[in-house]
């Protein structure tokens, strides 16, 4: 242990601890900008590029960046001298001299770390005037916008994309004043290998990376006389939306969210969970078919569009391995525009399906040409959890004070198995609950597969079904997915089925969720919220969902049958 004194308080810390970390232990806050501790993926963005966190160390001439300076025995530090404050102010003033000052109309207004810091440091004028670097805004993608005019070169996006996700989209182009961050060859995002996982967006401190705003399209649909507007909500939204209204992370707001959506004017408020149950019917049937007919194994889950785009780019020699199932919200869309439309006597051309998702990639996915039926997109618009929160605020709906309401029938009925889709490990656990019963014709008494739960990057379990050991794995975060994929490519994988989610934590950590900046506690609480909701459900196995049974009886026939294939399955492209 080494002893360090910060602002007159002494503490003993492990060798190698930075001044910033030591200060945190003493509850002394040092302002930071580029620094980010992504606890949930055990990664730190410690590029020390911004120098906002500088402190004074006794006996040293220069100020030191506290995020990158380890403590040493007997070190005496001051974090709040006038010299420190002036140095920080200068850093921010220089940043502002090369930053647009349109805060009032900026996407990140009130959510921008640069803005907060300028306010905290009491900066009241732009001190330096000169040429500003300008770049073309990249609006090429359906999911995210890159506006390098607002980039402060903190490198968080690079850390996230290159180290955690291992997609390697970004790198610095040019040097000095001309530096900016861009995909290889400065390609537009939609031509790059970006997966649209949105993880870089979720750590960007400014509005350099933001989500494509679909709120206006949804308002328009809601106000169009001839549109029958249906909304569906993803599993992970219900445990995070409350955060936008001051609730603790993990607070389950399902009933309040339903009430709010009804107040917004949606004609029907349905649940993506219904379609997650449907996905399990199809995926379990497909898995069993491959098991029994010598099909290619392991089967990989295919409901995460970021993950799908990742393997299409980087593992396109393995395109026959993922399940062919569309993702739940896409299955929902097509069922709404066929089965439900027929049942209700509505022309599907007038149906407008809105998905509320924790995800940016769902925006891109919804526009994929493979995911159309009868010349109609299965899903017409996707809003992230954050956007829904913003829209409710626009409509002056005070979510937390609403009375709980129930989803509409029949596409609102769901089981616990579908709820757990929202967290890493949940999809495969849900699939096991059904696969087990279908293969054994016995009741699965213990439905919780605890080995598959938690935050470990890769987890595995062996499940005995009849006399066979079924080897299961789960990976979340694309860096972890890559490891399992490389084993498959090398012929070294012994798994029968693998669940992969692009975002660390699964959908609860999606790029469209309220910002959590790597705070592990937030993710753990959201996960707890998901498992709590599972426990509270009357049915906990997808094949027990009465509305799903009826859908097959009345319309689809057999799981994995002809009709199901036409509507619910897809294919992948290089
Ligand atoms: Fe997910 Fe989904 S679970 S991807 O994470 O499978 O986005 O929550 O809606 O579609 O159901 C996201 C969450 C979904 C889909 C479901 C799947
Ligand atoms: Fe990388 Fe994901 Fe950001 Fe694309 S969205 S640049 S894949 S982190």
| 216-568: CATH architecture | 3-Layer(aba) Sandwich (3.40)
pLDDT score, position 437: 98
Spatial separation of the C-alpha atoms in residues 366 and 378, rounded to whole Å: 7
457 CA distance to ligand 2 middle (Å): 18
Spatial separation of the C-alpha atoms in residues 430 and 303, rounded to whole Å: 13
pLDDT score, position 391: 98
142-153 mean pLDDT: 97
Other beta carbons within 10 angstroms of residue 198's beta carbon come to: 29
Q: Which atom of ligand 1 is nearest to the CA of 275?
A: 11
pLDDT score, position 432: 98
pLDDT score, position 48: 87
Q: What is the CA angle 299-300-304, rounded to 5?
A: 155
Residue in 467, 484, 466 with CA at minimum distance from that of residue 475? 484
Catalytic residue, candidates 47, 66, 141, 323: 323
Task: Check pLDDT > 90 for residue 219.
Answer: yes
Has the ipTM of the complex gone over 0.85?
yes
Spatial separation of the C-alpha atoms in residues 149 and 102, rounded to whole Å: 11
Catalytic residue, candidates 370, 409, 442, 486: 370
β-strands 381-384, 458-465: how paired? unpaired
Spatial separation of the C-alpha atoms in residues 148 and 146, rounded to whole Å: 6
199, 421, 430, 500: residue to mutate for ligand 1 pocket, most atoms within 8 A of CB: 421
Task: Check pLDDT > 80 for residue 47.
Answer: no
* DSSP per-residue letters across 403-457: PP-PPPSSTT---HHHHGGGSTTHHHHHHHHHHHHHHH-S--S----GGG-SS-S
Nearest 5°: phi and psi at 264?
Answer: -70, -20
pLDDT score, position 515: 97
At 228-240, the pLDDT tens digits run 999 999 999 999 9
pLDDT score, position 178: 85
Q: Which atom of ligand 1 is nearest to the CA of 234?
A: 9
Tell me the domain boundaries of the chain: 2-95, 216-568
At 104-134, the pLDDT tens digits run 999 999 999 999 999 999 999 888 888 888 9
Residue whose entry in the numeric block shows the structure tokens 């030591």: 22
Percent of the chain past pLDDT 70, that is, above it, reads 100
At 495-545, the pLDDT tens digits run 999 999 999 999 999 999 999 999 999 999 999 999 999 999 999 999 999
CATH class of the 2-95 domain in this structure: alpha beta
Q: Which atom of ligand 1 is nearest to the CA of 361?
A: 7
Is residue 198 in contact with ligand 2, taking CB distance under 6 Å? yes
At 290-325, the pLDDT tens digits run 999 999 999 999 999 999 999 999 999 999 999 999
Catalytic residue, candidates 142, 362, 363, 525: 362
- The whole-angstrom distance between residue 406's C-alpha and the CA centroid of its chain comes to 26
pLDDT score, position 128: 87
The least confident of 44-48, 96-100, 262-266, 485-489 is 44-48
Residue whose entry in the numeric block shows the structure tokens 């309220």: 514
pLDDT score, position 44: 94
Residue 94 near residue 50, CB atoms below 8 Å:
no
Mean pLDDT, the chain, rounded, equals: 97
Is residue 196 in contact with ligand 2, taking CB distance under 6 Å? yes
Clarify whether 243 is annotated catalytic.
no
Q: Which ligand is nearest to the CA of 512?
A: 1
Structure-block tokens of residue 375 = 């010349």
Q: Which ligand is nearest to the CA of 274?
A: 1
CA-CA distances (angstroms) from residue 398 to 244, 393, 403, 502? 11, 7, 11, 32
Nearest 5°: phi and psi at 4?
Answer: -135, 145
For ligand 2, atom 4, name the residue with the nearest CA.
194
């Amino acid at each position: 242990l080494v002893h360090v004194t910060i602002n007159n308080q002494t503490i003993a810390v492990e060798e190698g601890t930075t001044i910033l970390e030591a200060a945190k232990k003493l509850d002394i806050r040092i302002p930071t900008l580029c620094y980010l501790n992504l606890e949930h993926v055990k990664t730190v963005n410690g590029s020390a590029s911004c120098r906002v966190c500088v402190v004074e160390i006794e006996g040293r001439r220069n100020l030191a960046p506290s995020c990158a300076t380890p403590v040493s025995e007997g070190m005496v530090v001051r974090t709040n001298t006038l010299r420190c404050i002036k140095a920080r102010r200068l850093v921010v003033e220089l940043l502002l001299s090369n930053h647009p000052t349109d805060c009032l109309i900026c996407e990140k207004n009130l959510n921008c770390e640069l803005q907060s810091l300028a306010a905290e440091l009491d900066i009241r004028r732009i001190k330096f005037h000169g040429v500003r670097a300008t770049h073309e805004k990249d609006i090429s993608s359906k999911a995210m916008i890159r506006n390098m005019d607002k980039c402060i070169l903190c490198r968080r996006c690079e850390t996230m994309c290159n180290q955690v996700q291992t997609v390697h989209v970004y790198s610095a182009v040019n040097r000095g004043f001309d530096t900016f961050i861009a995909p290889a060859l400065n390609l537009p995002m939609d031509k790059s290998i970006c997966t649209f996982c949105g993880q870089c967006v979720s750590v960007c401190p400014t509005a350099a990376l933001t989500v494509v705003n679909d709120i206006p399209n949804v308002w328009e649909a809601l106000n169009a006389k001839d549109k029958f507007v249906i909304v569906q909500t993803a599993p992970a939204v219900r445990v995070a939306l409350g955060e936008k209204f001051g609730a603790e992370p993990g607070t389950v707001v399902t009933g309040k969210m339903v009430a709010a959506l009804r107040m917004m004017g949606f004609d029907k408020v349905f649940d993506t969970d219904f379609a997650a149950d449907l996905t399990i019917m199809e995926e379990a049937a497909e898995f069993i078919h491959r098991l029994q007919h010598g099909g290619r194994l392991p089967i990989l889950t295919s409901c995460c569009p970021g993950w799908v785009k990742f393997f299409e780019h980087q593992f396109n020699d393995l395109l026959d391995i993922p399940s062919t199932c569309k993702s739940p919200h896409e299955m929902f869309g097509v069922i709404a525009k066929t089965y439900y439309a027929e049942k209700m006597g509505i022309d599907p051309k007038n149906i407008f399906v809105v998905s509320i998702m924790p995800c940016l990639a769902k925006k891109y996915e919804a526009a994929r040409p493979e995911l159309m039926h009868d010349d109609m997109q299965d899903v017409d618009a996707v809003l992230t959890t954050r956007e829904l929160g913003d829209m409710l605020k626009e409509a002056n709906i005070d979510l937390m004070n609403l009375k709980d309401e129930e989803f509409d029938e029949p596409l609102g009925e769901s089981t616990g198995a579908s709820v757990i889709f929202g967290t890493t490990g949940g999809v495969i656990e849900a699939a096991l609950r059904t696969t087990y019963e279908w293969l054994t014709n016995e009741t699965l008494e213990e439905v919780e597969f605890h080995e598959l739960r938690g935050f470990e990057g890769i987890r595995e379990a062996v499940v005995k079904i009849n006399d066979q050991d079924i080897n299961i794995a789960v990976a979340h975060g694309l860096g972890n997915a890559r490891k399992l994929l490389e084993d498959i490519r090398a012929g070294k994988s012994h798994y029968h089925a693998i669940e992969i989610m692009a975002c660390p934590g699964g959908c609860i950590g999606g790029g469209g969720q309220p910002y959590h900046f790597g705070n592990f506690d937030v993710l753990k609480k959201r996960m707890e919220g998901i498992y709590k909701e599972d426990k509270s459900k009357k049915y906990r196995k997808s094949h027990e969902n009465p509305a799903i049974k009826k859908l097959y009886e009345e319309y689809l026939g057999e799981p994995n049958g002809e009709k199901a294939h036409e509507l619910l399955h897809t294919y992948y492209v290089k």
